[in-house]
Every structure is written in C-alpha cells, then in structure tokens.
Amino acid sequence: MWIFNPLSVSSPEVSDFFYTTQLFGDKLFAVPDENIQAWYEYFDRKVNKAHIANYIYKLPLKDLKAIQRDIKTGESPILNSLALHLAVTKNQTFADYFVFAKEVEILLNPKSDDYWINVPLDIPEIKKLIPVAIKKAKKSKSNFLKIRYAYQAIVLLRYAGNYKKLIKYYNKQFLKLNNKKPNILNFWALAYVAYAQIELGKKEEGQKNLLKLFCNSNAKKRWADLLIDKKYFENNYNSLSAKSKFYWTIFKAYHNSGKALIGLKKTANYDANHPDFQVLLGREINKLEDWLLTREHFGETAIILNKKKKQVSENYNSDFEYLGKFIKFVKIIAEKQNVKNSFRTYALLAHLYLLQKEPKMALKYLRKAKQMPSYQPDLEPQIRYTRILANTLAAKQFDAKFEQKIGLDILWLEKQNQDNTRLFSNLMLVLHKAYDRKKMYAKAAMFLCNDLCGNRNRYNRWQDFSSPHFYLDKYASTVEVLNFINLAFSENKSALESFLFKNFKETKDRYYDLAGTIELRKDNLKKALSLFEKVNLHYWKSKKSYQTYLKNNPFIFQTESPQARKYDNTKPELFISKAFFTKKLIEFKAQYKQEKYAKRKSELAYLLATAYYNMSYSGTNWHYLAYGKASSGGELLHTGHNSFINKNYSTCSKSIQYFEQAYKLATDINQKAEFLFTLASVQNTANNFPNLKTKQPNTFAKSLRADNDAYSFYLEVCPGLKYF
C-alpha cells in the first residue's frame, strides 16, 4: 500500500527498484527511451518524438535507403516527420548514419521467422564493418554523429569477440570524442567495455565499471545489477577508491529491503545530491508506507490495538520510532542539499509527517516545497495527494467544507488523468477507510464506487465486495442506505460527488431492496414493507438470483405439510417479491395474534414458523435476508459475512419459538408428534450452521425419544431419526 509516488523523485527507468510494485498498467511507469530523448533534443524538440522512435525502430532498411536516396530531392518517400525534416534540410549525413546503424542492427540480430532456427552471427561481415565504423567516426564533421559511429564500432567489436581492441578503442578514441555535455552513449559504451573486461578475466576493472554503470546510468542499471559480484566488493571494500566506495553504498542501499537509514547516512556523507540518493529516499518512504499503511488499511490494526500478537505491536512501534529518526535525517538533508534537489526533499518530508500523523507539519512542508524557486510542476500531483491526506487527517469533521477542500485536489488529479492509476486507487481506499472509521458509510461507499465501479477486477482490494451494495449490506443501517440513495441518485450532486459516482450504473431499486432487507432482518415488518414498496415491480423478476432462489412458497415446509397448504395456496412465483412476502407475513401475524381458537392458532403458528425457518440459512428462501455471491460453478453461495444477519438466520430461534407454539397448541396427538419431530429436525439443522460457536442441546429430540408412540411412528417414516 503506498501513496507516495516514487516517480516524484526519480525516473521510470529505475522502476524495477521501487520497493512496491506498479502492476496496474500505469502509463506513468512506461520507461522513456533515453536514446529517442537524445535525438529529440538534438533536433531542438522540433521533430515529433513518436516519429523519431518510428524512424529508428520500426522503419525497415529499404525505407531508410529510399529516404537516403531521395534526400537531394528535398522530399521524403515516407510519411514521417523525421524523414521530412531530413529531406527538407537535405541532411545526407544523418540519413546515411541511420542506414548504417540499421545495417549493423540487422547484422547483429539475425532473425528467422521460425523461432526454432538459430541464425548464427556472420562474424566475417561484422569484422568487415569495424574499420568502416571507425573511419566514419573519424571523418564525420558532426560530433553528434562521430560519437554514434564510434559507438557502433564498439558494438561491432564486442560481437566480433575482439575484446582487447574494444577496450583499446574505447580508451584511446572513444573517450576523446566526448564533449563536455553528458552523453548517454558514454555509459552504453562503458557497458560493453565492462563486459569485455570480464570476458578477458580483468575482474577488478570490469566490476568497478559495472558498479559505476549501476550508479550513473538508469538504462543500464538492471543489466549491471545482474552482473555485479557482491562478494568481490565485500571482500575488497578497503581497497576501493572513495568514488567506488560511494557507489557501493548506493548499491547496498538499493538492495536493502529493511531499514536502510545507516546506509543512507553514509551515502549522504558522500553526496546528498546524487540522483540515486533521491531515489533511495523515495524508496525508504515506500517501505515505511508498506509497513505502516498496509497494516493500518489491511487488517492488522485490530491485532495492534488488541495486542493479540506481541510481535506485530512491537514491529509497529519500532517502525514508528524509525519513522521519527528518518524524519530527523531528511530534515537535515533538505537543508544541506542544493536548491535543485531540496524542493523535492521538502515534498518527501511533508509525506513523512503525514505518515507520522502530523498533518500540520505535512501541510507546512508542502507549502515550503511549493515556494522553493526551483519548484517543478511535475511534482504537483504528489503535492496534491499528500495534501488531500493531510487535510483528511487534520479535519475534525468531514463536512461540506472539508469535502470542498479535498474535492478541489481530487478533481485536479482527475484532470491530469491520474484516476486510472494505482496511486489514485490507493487514495480512494484511504479516504473510504477514513469515512468508514467515522461510521459515515454512505459517504465511504462513494469512494468505493469510484474505484470499484471503474474496474471490477479491483474487488480483491475491497474485501471482495464487487459492489458498494455488499459493503453497505455488511456495515450500514437503513438510514445510511437511504443516505446513499440520496447521494447516488441526486440531481444536484456536487462536482466531487458527480466524479465519484461517474461509473456507478446501478438502480435505486437495488438499494431500496437492501434497505427493506435490513428492516426485515430486524423483524420491523411494516417499515420493511414501506421500503419494499418503493421498488419497481419488474425489479424482483429481473434478478436471476431471485428467480432461482425465491421460487418456493416460504409458508410451506419441506415436508409439504397439509396444514400449511390448508391456509396458503398462493402461487409460489408471487413470492419472488419481497414486498408480497412481507405483506403476507404481516397478515398471518395479525391473524395469529387475534386467533383465540387453539387448533387454528396452532396452524397459524406452524405457518409463521415455516416462514421464519425458510428465511433462515437452512431454509429455501434464505435469499430474503442474505445476498449471495456466485461461485465459479455459477451456483449462488452464502457469503461469509452472512452470519451477522440476525439470530434466527443462523440459529432458527424465532422459527423454533413458533414451532413450539404450534406444538403446544396442537390438540391432535398425531399432529403433536409431527410438530415435535419438526422441532427436532429444525434444531438439528440449526446446529449445523457454519462456525456456530455454541450448539443448542436438542431437547426436542430428547422429548421425541421419550414419547414412545410418537417416536415409533416417526422411526417408521424416517429411520434416520435414531441419529438425533
């Protein structure tokens, strides 16, 4: 779990080294191509970058040759803005270079359409091109092209296996070509030099160059990381130069997945302005977020608060203490760093104070970061994220004023297309939890809506709720559900509310159904009915699950007692409507209350008992009270949280009460036996409710066994009775 975007302090090439993963298909994490960037800068940003990439990577050799051939005409045979630029400027030398580079590329990557065919390198051809590349590097008048031809020579030398010449050429020729401007090709070439040195057994030089690459070239970081021999540096640390020691501290800090403050202090002593140092600071924040926020938002809070597991509390306390030390360190760094970097460090500091639950300090340092003269707008999204969370922490009430404040920042982030990112999803989760903790469930559901309704695959981040409906079902009261209805279906939503509900496509009916169901669970039948009556009639029939699971008459017991049929012959399909069922239940209850004749009262009690039984977990119509979830086999299953529904749902308590009344009031001996048998069965079934902590003793079975006549009668009908 993280809210600090590591890209705020680093570039995407190092995304492999971020502590947290970025598996969300975030566009932000697409690694930019530094080669294309270099060409783009060379052409003064006047040529479209995508076209440059297309020219270099996609155009086949024949097209490049066509462009080369037609340069003098001032027109390009290919519709590409780089090709057009070269044609318009009649830039033959660059067109020639691109052809040469493509020929080298093809030679070094011989491919077949058939995966199974190994096409060997044409070493003689490669060797032939080496002097050509060297000559072109020497003769070229453009320094930009000189370095590129020289680089091609180095690549060719590597594939020809001429490592000694490669190293010599690099040291004597290539390095001389470097002008004062930093050039990505320096490190690309150095990578080949390091490789050659290792192949020649020059381990020390090779390893040092790999370490240098790791710390200076984002493009080569991952490659160098795979080849660096850690044992070599550990064993030879004392003999390293100061620079190599510095690089080694950076390398070690990258590989330290624990508390890296000691290593960071060492790195800062060498150079607190090194770009990798900024990355490492950001990475440390992500670790802290993982330790503190993941715990807070994904379930360990109860463990911490209740001290159920000593080590979890100890870890939390030690992480919090570490956070304090880290803040002190970062504060010193921010003051020591050059202006170029310090504004980012202030943003980091703000976020750290947020983690420390000091929102005022967080806001203070956000303001400071923004006021720095070297402030860059690419940091603005992170500033907004941190500010939203700081304001949330600082707010005493989550009222309209508060919502307006955070709304401005949330909507700004939306405009920057942040809302499809994992970072934004995390933000929604944090805000949802913040409202949830205040028991403002309707509002909490809004944030859930925004994230979940936008992408159903995210349900595993939301306790497996596939809709805000399930969330409200678990936590909300009727009032909160009605609040949600007012929010979600209001014509006068605020800008923030409109945004949060933009992907919400459900109907009011579903939520009136929910509100009514909450009341039905509490046995507030009249209130339940008034809510069910707000649901459109076609809604009940339109739900597949209701068609499947509410097709039975709930007033008829599984044994299809004639007593039940006598008083209720309603068509089963009518019971698909919870409104219809509740109305019937109210009617029977009223009749039962008024009835003075024992036999009839007993029969009515039996009807009510059956209805309450069928509404329980064990009954045929449990879907009146619980919302199931489809399994992979398509069958509707009771969801795990359904045990909160009511006592009757799990233990059939109300059902048993009415069955007992039916039994006591019955005058016919056979009927009495039947009711006693039913009681024993229901109690047995109720005791099978999953995860039931206390099973009720089956006194009815005991009574049944004591009544010899009844028992013998039923044993004949139901041999399984002996197992009660």
290 vs 660, beta carbon nearer other proteins? 290
Contacts of 507 (CB under 8 A, 6+ apart): 539
Contact 689, 618 (CB under 8 A): yes
Q: Is 258 in the site for other proteins (CB under 8 A)?
A: yes
Stretch that binds other proteins, among 1-9, 252-260, 274-282, 345-353 (CB under 8 A): 252-260
DSSP per residue over 427-492, as a string?
HHHHHHHHHHHTT-HHHHHHHHHHHHTT-GGGGGGTTT-SSHHHHHHHH--HHHHHHHHHHHT-SS
**Least separation, in Å, of the C-beta of 321 and other proteins?**
12
109 vs 569, beta carbon nearer other proteins? 109
Can you read off the two tokens belonging to residue 561? 């007692």
DSSP per residue over 249-309, as a string?
HHHHHHT--S--HHHHHHHHHHHTT-HHHHHHHHHHHHHHHHHHHHHHHTT-HHHHHHT-S
Gap between the Cα atoms of 370 and 232, Å rounded = 44
6 vs 263, beta carbon nearer other proteins? 263
Q: Is 492 in the site for other proteins (CB under 8 A)?
A: no
Stretch that binds other proteins, among 148-156, 209-217, 249-257, 583-591 (CB under 8 A): 249-257
Contact 352, 330 (CB under 8 A): yes
**Least separation, in Å, of the C-beta of 205 and other proteins?**
19
**Least separation, in Å, of the C-beta of 313 and other proteins?**
10
At CB < 8 A and 24+ separation, what contacts does 461-464 make? 461/425, 461/429, 462/429, 464/629
296 vs 509, beta carbon nearer other proteins? 296
**Least separation, in Å, of the C-beta of 574 and other proteins?**
47
230 vs 695, beta carbon nearer other proteins? 230
138 vs 309, beta carbon nearer other proteins? 309
235 vs 404, beta carbon nearer other proteins? 235
In sequence order, what E strands does 25-171 have? none
**Least separation, in Å, of the C-beta of 291 and other proteins?**
8
Closest by CA to 284, choosing from 309, 306, 269, 263, is 263
Beta bridge partners of 636: 630
Q: Is 417 in the site for other proteins (CB under 8 A)?
A: no
One character per residue 62-101, x = contact with other proteins (rule: CB under 8 A): ----------------------------------------
**Least separation, in Å, of the C-beta of 300 and other proteins?**
7
Stretch that binds other proteins, among 116-124, 345-353, 560-568, 708-716 (CB under 8 A): 116-124
Q: Is 16 in the site for other proteins (CB under 8 A)?
A: no
**Least separation, in Å, of the C-beta of 13 and other proteins?**
20
Contact 53, 35 (CB under 8 A): no
239 vs 311, beta carbon nearer other proteins? 311
Is the backbone of residue 509 left (phi > 0), alpha (psi -120 to 50) or beta? Answer: alpha
Q: Which residue among 111, 112, 115, 593 contacts other proteins (CB under 8 A)? A: 115
One character per residue 281-310, x = contact with other proteins (rule: CB under 8 A): ------x------------x--x-----xx
Q: Is 118 in the site for other proteins (CB under 8 A)?
A: yes
Gap between the Cα atoms of 616 and 646, Å rounded = 9
Gap between the Cα atoms of 199 and 453, Å rounded = 55
**Least separation, in Å, of the C-beta of 314 and other proteins?**
6
Q: Is 112 in the site for other proteins (CB under 8 A)?
A: no
158 vs 623, beta carbon nearer other proteins? 158
Closest by CA to 96, choosing from 129, 57, 67, 126, is 67
Gap between the Cα atoms of 615 and 655, Å rounded = 9
**Least separation, in Å, of the C-beta of 253 and other proteins?**
11
311 vs 492, beta carbon nearer other proteins? 311
One character per residue 310-329, x = contact with other proteins (rule: CB under 8 A): xxx-xx--x-----------
Stretch that binds other proteins, among 255-263, 440-448, 478-486, 677-685 (CB under 8 A): 255-263
Q: Which residue among 255, 307, 360, 565 contacts other proteins (CB under 8 A)? A: 255
Amino acid at the residue 178: N
**Least separation, in Å, of the C-beta of 292 and other proteins?**
13
Contacts of 79 (CB under 8 A, 6+ apart): none
End-to-end Cα distance, the chain: 51
259 vs 368, beta carbon nearer other proteins? 259
In the chain, helix, strand, coil percent, each to 5? Answer: 70, 0, 30
Can you read off the two tokens belonging to residue 12? 């995407």
Amino acid at the residue 384: R
**Least separation, in Å, of the C-beta of 311 and other proteins?**
3
- The footprint of other proteins (CB under 8 A) covers 114-118, 255-259, 287, 300, 303, 309-312, 314-315, 318
